[in-house]
Amino acid sequence: MIDLQTYYPWSGKKKKPIQLLKFLKRAILFVLTVSILSVIVLRWLPPPTSSFMLQEYALAKWNGLSDLTIHYQWVNRHGISSHAVIAVIAAEDQKFPYHWGFDREAIAEAWEERREGTRIRGASTITQQVAKNLFLWPGKSFVRKGIEAYFTVLIEALWPKSRIVEVYLNIAQFGRGIYGISEASRIFFNKAPSLLTRKESALLAAALPDPRRLRIDRPSAYMRQRGDWILKEMDRMGPIELSASFRQ
């Protein structure tokens, strides 16, 4: 039997790109399948943890901080005060009940500020924050934002709005090692999340942009001012359909 590779050594080189292409196709299909199934499963099951929780814990261990404890306890929507729901929407994403995962006006404003070199405005919606906190890592690279957009589309397509905000309230960070409205309510106010008042809910929401710097237990003048602003926005928004159906 004649070995063509002996006479025509270049003939075998074509196999490598083909094999690589097949491998890439299988890898992409695997990643897509796992990501879609993960979002589908989390539509009904509580997340056991999140990417941000794991990263904070790993970083603490890496830096030799053995005293860090991750406080996380899932609570379903029936156990969360409707004040907390309205507060986070008023503070973080007032168009949440109406958009499909992206606030185009906020994105345009953020892009314009970036182009002009001025302070960059936050443009992430609650859905984008759920995608990032659950599956991704901090950062502003285009690669991460692209993956975030992919998960945002999946979540908006497969979850109702009530589930999105329910998960958000359960995995949002409220302090060092403190994740979710249940643990935040217990640690800062010594009460169940269903008993949170409007003022307490507004104060918790005020810390969301930077929970490591903005202290709920020792609120600064800025925190109190932001909490007051959130209360006014809650009054201005009034009852919203999402919060009315949230406890059902």
Instruction: Return the pLDDT at 244.
Output: 41
* 17-29 tens-digit pLDDT: 788 888 888 889 9
Instruction: Return the pLDDT at 3.
Output: 53
CATH of segment(s) 42-246? 1.10.3810.10
In angstroms, the Cα distances linking 30 to 34, 40, 41, 228 are: 6, 15, 16, 47
The mean pLDDT of 173-196, rounded to a whole number, is 97
Structure tokens that stand for 241 in this block:
């359909």
Instruction: Return the pLDDT at 141.
Output: 84
Cβ-proximal residues to 216 (8 Å cutoff; 6+ apart), any chain: 174, 175, 184, 188, 203, 204, 207, 223
Asked if 88 and 126 count as a contact pair (C-beta separation under 8 A), the reply is yes
- The answer on pLDDT for 55 being more than 60 is yes
- The answer on pLDDT for 248 being more than 80 is no
pTM: 0.85
Selected residue with higher pLDDT from 103 and 199? 199
Backbone φ and ψ of 213, nearest 5°: -105, -35
190: left (phi over 0), alpha (psi -120 to 50) or beta: left
Selected residue with higher pLDDT from 151 and 102? 151
Q: Using CA atoms, how far apart are residues 96 and 74, in angstroms rounded to an integer?
A: 22
Structure tokens that stand for 221 in this block:
């003048």
Q: Using CA atoms, how far apart are residues 9 and 174, in angstroms rounded to an integer?
A: 63
Unique residue bearing structure tokens 């958000």: 168
* Helix 15-41 with 142-158: angle, nearest 10 deg: 50
In angstroms, the Cα distances linking 139 to 56, 112, 132, 148, 240 are: 14, 19, 10, 11, 32
Instruction: Return the pLDDT at 219.
Output: 93
Q: Using CA atoms, how far apart are residues 32 and 171, in angstroms rounded to an integer?
A: 23
